[in-house]
Amino acid sequence: RSLTVWISTQVPHMMQAVLAGLFDLPEQRVRVIAPDVGGSFGIKIHVYQDDVAAVALAILLGRPVKFVATRRESFVSDIHAREQTIEVELAGGDDGVVSAMRARITAAVGPYSAYPRSSVVEGGQVLRLLPGPYRVRHYDGTLRVVAQNKVVTSQYRAVGHPIAAAVTESMLDVIARDLGLDPAEVRRRNLVRPEELPYTSATGNVYDSGSYHAALARLLEAAKYDDLRSQQAAARVQGRHLGVGLSCFIELTGPGAQFYGVGGAPISGQDGATLRLEPSGAVTALVGVTDQGQGMPTAFAQIVADELGISPDGVAVRSGDTALTPYGGGTWASRGMPIGGSAALLAARALAEKIRRVAATLLEAHPDDIRLGDGRVGVSGARDRGMTLADLARTVHFRSNELEGLEPSLEATVHFTNAQPGTFTNGAHLAVVEVDIETGRVSVLRYVAVDDCGRVVNPALVAGQIAGGVAQGLGGALMEHCAYDGAGQPLCGTLMDYAVPTAADVPPLELHHLETPAPSIAGGYKGAGEAGTTGAPAAILNAVNDALAPFGAAVTDQPITAERVLRAIRAGRRPGG
């Protein structure tokens, strides 16, 4: 018997392995198809009970079964995240240089983990990421995980990064206020220096490459930081309460096999790509990485086209079907470009080498003299000697007898994994907000972001990822919250109860890019999907507290609701507040 499962997942091969094991089926008899399913953000890397129940019913009944959760059902079945309480102390001198950090993290989780990931991972990420991009050499951190009668928690976009960045960045602003220093200067004095890379943090993370100082400098220049401070001072004279918030951060992307392999979970750290030159001269690319709106097919088509000298329109990228695509880990942890893109790049190079060997035979030249471009192959220095890729492909596919001694193949498969635990993206973000001290309302007036995502293949796609991440980060900072009553019953059942940001809540975004290639990644690519989500909550939190500073007030909880803002103002105005 065989099983075909159409499912909204980021990890089709993992689902294939899990379902085959649960129902005692040979893996080759289980086909998982995951079309372009729209937003996922880590929610769809888990195995849910509903998935398994639907498959079980189909097997028992011997007929197709379709399950679609209602919004209310998904609020209690899909994983939640980011409920933590963190107490932090920093030690340093009057110069604002931080020498040590102590952190006590209490991470709330649900009753059990969402297979095959662990609910503990988010807290563990925060524990290791708290030093951020800074030269903190002494660190004492502890993590306590607390079970609750709430919805299961697990891994959601930028796992742990937004929490760690918000905590550390807000503490740097506290130092700046206490010492009378500019927040940007405090960051300059503490950021990892270029000559120190690769840098091993106090928690053991290896920052393989980056542009920490350059990103901050670019941000301050792009935002006209000094002018912003002047405008802020003028606004305060007029009774307007503007705040400027900074956020410098790191983001672990493209994790290698050791990231999960040590735990024995069926989560693949590698990904594959198979390329085939068709008789028409077009290329079919089968990739293990799935797409949920990131634009992976476009980026992969560009990579392949650049290597083979053809138009991206001549490359058809297919993914999300375990019966067709090479085995791979899917899409999570911003690994699509670093891992999947590198596999596509290396497969394209392998296919190009095959094309050169065939062309060398047909054109009576050395393979090193064969050039690819404009959909043709030719001999360097001999413009009259050449042929189209279509002619070459038809020869291989239909007249291979003319290629004595050569394998009649124009197909290449390559699998790639990061030899290192990961590669680090970095960025620097700035937010300008206005706080209405009478109502507590926070309005985001401006947002500037500088991100270093390694080698950028398609700037428009990267900009889309950063912009979407920032919007999601604004939602987490200002409004998104799953509320419960005292008995642990969820109070959110619709998107009317659980507010998400709309276009009206997001200001025009000013996005800038730096490119520092990842040394352990074939294409030098780094991930871009989680940077905006990482940097935004910290920048917003610091901007709000900057606006509240004249009142001696500070908000320490997110989301930063009007109620919390007003409560902070009242506390700041009280004697001793």
- Cα separation, 423 vs 210, whole angstroms: 9
At 109, list the tokens. Answer: 């989780």
The answer to whether 455 and 567 have CB atoms below 8 angstroms apart is no
CA distance 187 to 96: 9
**CA gap 335, 260 in Å, rounded:** 13
pLDDT at 577: 45
Whole-angstrom Cα distance, residue 109 to residue 464?
A: 31
DSSP letters, 127-142, are: HHHTTTTB---EEEEE
DSSP label at residue 298: H
Strand 423-435 and strand 442-452: pairing? Answer: antiparallel
* pLDDT digit string, tens, across residues 537-554: 999 999 999 999 999 999
Say if CB 512 and CB 218 are below 8 A apart: yes
> In the chain, which residues have pLDDT < 70?
262-263, 573-577
> What is the CATH architecture assignment of 84-254+420-573?
2-Layer Sandwich (3.30)
* Cβ atoms of 15 and 47 closer than 8 Å: yes
Distance between CA atoms of residues 507 and 125, nearest Å? 30
208-211, long-range: CB within 8 Å, 24+ apart, which pairs? 208/420, 208/423, 208/424, 208/518, 208/519, 208/520, 209/423, 209/424, 209/516, 209/517, 209/518, 209/519, 210/133, 210/250, 210/424, 210/425, 210/426, 210/452, 210/516, 211/426, 211/452, 211/514, 211/516
Single out the residue of 323, 324, 306 nearest to residue 315, CA to CA.
306
Q: Where do the H-state alpha helices sit in 23-89?
A: 49-61, 71-77
Percentage of the chain surpassing pLDDT 70?
99
CATH of 261-417, one of 3.90.1860.10, 3.20.20.80, 3.10.20.70, 3.30.365.10: 3.30.365.10
- Hey, CA dihedral for 292, 294, 298, 300, is it positive or negative? negative
Alpha-carbon distance 531 to 473, whole Å? 10
pLDDT of the residue at 37: 77
Please check whether residue 87 is in contact with residue 104, taking contact to mean a CB–CB distance below 8 angstroms.
yes
Report the alpha-carbon distance of residue 233 to residue 239 in Å, rounded. 10
Cα separation values, 196 from 27, 93, 191, 224, 370, Å: 47, 22, 10, 28, 42
User: What local confidence, expressed as pLDDT, does residue 515 receive?
Assistant: 98
Neighbouring C-beta atoms of residue 274, cutoff 10 Å: 22
Domain span(s) for CATH 3.30.365.10 in the chain: 84-254+420-573, 261-417
Helix or strand holding residue 189 (H, E): helix 183-190
Look-up of token digits 């062309």: 359
Please tell me whether the overall predicted TM-score, pTM, comes out greater than 0.85 for this model: yes
401: its two tokens: 């007898």
Question: Half-sphere exposure (CA, 13 Å, Cβ side) for 290?
Answer: 34
Q: What is the DSSP string of 190-214?
A: HBPPGGG-SEE-TTS-EE-S--HHH
pLDDT score at 574: 63
Which pLDDT score, from 0 to 100, does residue 575 have?
A: 52
